[in-house]
Chains A and B, each alone.
Chain A
Amino acid sequence: MPINPDIVGRALQPTAPYLVGREKIREFSRAVFATNPVNLDPAAAQAAGYADVVAPPTFPIVIQQLTLDQLLAEPDAGIDFSRVVHGDQRFSYTRPIVAGDELTGQLTVASVKTLGGNSMVTADTVVTDAAGEHVVTAISTLVVRAED
């Protein structure tokens, strides 16, 4: 089943606030081989001018994933999760995420394309902090492989 082209432009409900924990950042840092002291040590992060430990650049995927799950669950989207492959990923940052941030993500469907039986959906997730300020925009292109 192809992706429903009518979902282009659709904005989903913002996600519930996600409180970024210091230990979560440390856990994620270790998982992506981040060894910079600002990722792990609050004192080092504060010396570098941050309120607390700094998340690695790909940490916003944790918030974005919540919004992609919303998209896959849209009843009329027609996205067969078992055939989804991650095609492209991009993050555009206003600032890094730090422990203590309370983040909300809101996804908008940017485009739907069909190419040789495969469908592609590109979705932009805007991540904002508790003050409503922009933190990062995470952009994913998911490829839905054609049926065998």
Chain B
Amino acid sequence: MTGSIDILAVGDVVAEAAFPLTRDSLVRYAGASGDFNPIHYRDDVAASVGLPGVLAHGMLTMGLAVQPVSDWLGDPGRILDYQVRFTRPVVVDPQAGAEVLVVAKVGKLDAEAGQARIDLTVSVGEQTVLGKAQVLVRL
């Protein structure tokens, strides 16, 4: 465990990480999760439903975005609640892929309860892809 609640302040960055996604990542996630919607691996299907390209599964983005917080905590059992809003799709280019950047900041501290709300900024390029991405943790 890295952060005792006394040394944390609202706005502190507790973790950040970059995740390079490729089409391989999407196929791996499809198999692991059982979500085989073809918009996540077939360009022709993605185009036929009007998408700008093959998209990462929203749940893959949500899943990786919490990992820096999980590593910072050391123990995933300290995660009490995790929520996101899917605001913009992540297009994964067949050659260049896409890089998802995650910055985790303290959004709120509750010393009495020993809890903190960690707010995630999750972006690709200059644009955020998740909204209201919040992790409630026990410290």
Contact = CB atoms under 8 A, between A and B. Distances in A.
B112 interface: no
Contact of A48 (B31, B59, B75, B85): B75
A95 B34 CA distance: 23
Contacts of A34: 63, 67, 70
A28 B76 contact: no
Contacts of A62: 33-34
A100 interface: no
A28 B83 CA distance: 19
B44 interface: no
A27 interface: yes
B81 A32 contact: no
Query: Do most interface residues of chain A lie in helix, strand or loop, or is the interface mixed?
Result: mixed
Contact of A36 (B49, B70, B82): B70
A96 B75 CA distance: 10
Interface of B: 19, 25, 28-29, 31-35, 49, 58-60, 62-64, 66-67, 70-71, 74-77, 79-86, 132
Interface of A: 24, 27-28, 30-36, 38-39, 48, 50, 54, 56-58, 61-62, 65, 82, 85-93, 95-96, 139
Q: Which 5 A-B pairs give the minimum distances between C-beta atoms? A: A32-B63, A31-B32, A90-B83, A58-B63, A31-B29
